Amino acid sequence: MTTLTEAEAPPPPAPVTPTRKPPRGRGRLVPYWLLLPGILWLLVFFALPMIYQASTSVQTGSLEEGYKVTWHFATYWHALSEYWPQFLRSVLYAGSATVLCLLLGYPLAYLIAFRAGRWRNLILILVIAPFFTSFLIRTLAWKTILADGGPVVGALNSLHVLDVTGWLGITAGDRVLATPLAVVCGLTYNFLPFMILPLYTSLERIDGRLHEAAGDLYATPFTTFRKVTFPLSMPGVVSGTLLTFIPASGDYVNADLLGSADTRMVGNVIQTQFLRILDYPTAAALSFLLMAAILIMVTLYIRKSGTEDLV
């Protein structure tokens, strides 16, 4: 009998992998069952109130007689023609606060991401710490800080700054409170963390070796920032500006506590129409006009910045 050598021996049979049975009907529905609580939450607390407000905006009547849906779309034109200054003021104040938050927040986020070292967690806690205090209390604190006899006015008067800042809306000559500057300062302070956190997240993801490569190619620090750091941090810039501008444009607390009748924003008008005048159709129409304006501006901004994937 001849024996087969190791090279001539047939290969061992391949292991048989068990065939996976197709999932049953219940298994296929598991992802949808997991999504059901979130869908119900959005339906009850977002979709239904939106539908109710949409129907309210086209109603006519009074609080005594009751409101009925008459498809009165002229309410939208009346609200826009009557309160367009408040719309424009809201965009200007929110835009100014967003720019200030970006100018103040980007250096701090850069410091936390690249230079903080062991102090990183402590600085992040300090950034988040204002969230542990009520939004109303923080705004009232700014009202005390910017009061006529407060430290800010005293310091600015000693430096003779208030006399030359009429372009900021300060017309009294010796005060900061109840001016557009106070409202913008309050918006900037209250929404600054919403700018810093997305910027830090975006900057922290940048590979440090890219900075080393830029230095090896004889790039100056400014060129490295302009060509490497800032372009790679654009998702954080876009996210931060959106998270700041959108809530700031609809805010009414800062304008109510830090401003005056001449600094009312559209949020103040909506609050007054809903809670004081009790003109529900006009208030609902103003809410939808504000939402539509924000959606249009956000869409144009995202397309212009080239970050459509964030939508």
Non-local (6+) Cβ contacts of 136 within 8 A are 253
147/153 Cα distance (integer angstroms): 7
Task: State residue 104's pLDDT score.
Answer: 95
DSSP-derived secondary structure letter, 64: T
Distances (CA, A) of 232 to 134, 183, 245: 34, 32, 21
Task: State residue 11's pLDDT score.
Answer: 65
- Averaged over 31-37, what is the pLDDT? 88
Burial call 129-146: b when 16+ CB within 10 Å, e when fewer: eeeeeeeeebbeebbebb
pLDDT tens digit string along 82-136? 999 999 999 999 999 999 999 999 999 999 999 888 899 999 999 999 888 889 9
Instruction: Identify the burial level of 293 via C-beta atoms within 10 angstroms of its C-beta, where 0-12 means exposed, 13-18 middle and 19 or more buried.
Output: middle
Task: State residue 240's pLDDT score.
Answer: 94
pLDDT tens digit string along 45-69? 999 999 999 999 999 888 788 888 8
The helix/strand/coil state of 60 is strand
Q: What is the pTM of this model?
A: 0.81
Residue count (the chain)? 311
**CB-CB contact of 246 with 294 (8 Å):** yes
> Among positive and negative, which fits the CA dihedral 220, 224, 225, 226?
positive
pLDDT tens digit string along 128-144? 998 888 899 999 999 98
Instruction: Please report the DSSP string for 227-283 in residue order.
Output: IIIHHHTHHHHHHHHHHHHHHHHT--HHHHHH--GGG--HHHHHHHHHHTS--HHHH
Give the HSE-up count for residue 292: Cα atoms under 13 Å, Cβ half-sphere. Answer: 9
217/210 Cα distance (integer angstroms): 11
Nearest CA to 204 out of 109, 123, 118 is that of 109
The class (CATH top level) of 73-310 is mainly alpha
**CB-CB contact of 192 with 101 (8 Å):** yes
pLDDT tens digit string along 151-196? 888 887 777 776 544 444 444 456 788 889 999 999 999 999 999 9
Task: State residue 311's pLDDT score.
Answer: 46
pLDDT tens digit string along 285-305? 999 999 999 999 988 888 887
**pLDDT: which is higher, 23 or 231:** 231
Q: Identify the weakest region by mean pLDDT among 9-18, 142-151, 208-217.
A: 9-18
Angle between helices 280-305 and 48-57 (to 10 degrees): 120
Nearest CA to 229 out of 256, 211, 216, 241 is that of 211
pLDDT tens digit string along 196-254? 999 999 999 988 888 889 888 888 889 999 999 999 999 999 999 999 999 999 999 99
Q: CA 189 from chain center: how many Å?
A: 13
Task: State residue 171's pLDDT score.
Answer: 44
Task: State residue 211's pLDDT score.
Answer: 85
Task: State residue 2's pLDDT score.
Answer: 52
Task: State residue 172's pLDDT score.
Answer: 47
Largest CA distance in the chain: 117
Q: How confident is the model at residue 22 (pLDDT cuts 50, 70, 90)?
A: low
- Averaged over 251-272, what is the pLDDT? 92
Instruction: Identify the burial level of 73 via C-beta atoms within 10 angstroms of its C-beta, where 0-12 means exposed, 13-18 middle and 19 or more buried.
Output: exposed
Q: Across-strand partners of 68?
A: 60
Task: State residue 170's pLDDT score.
Answer: 44
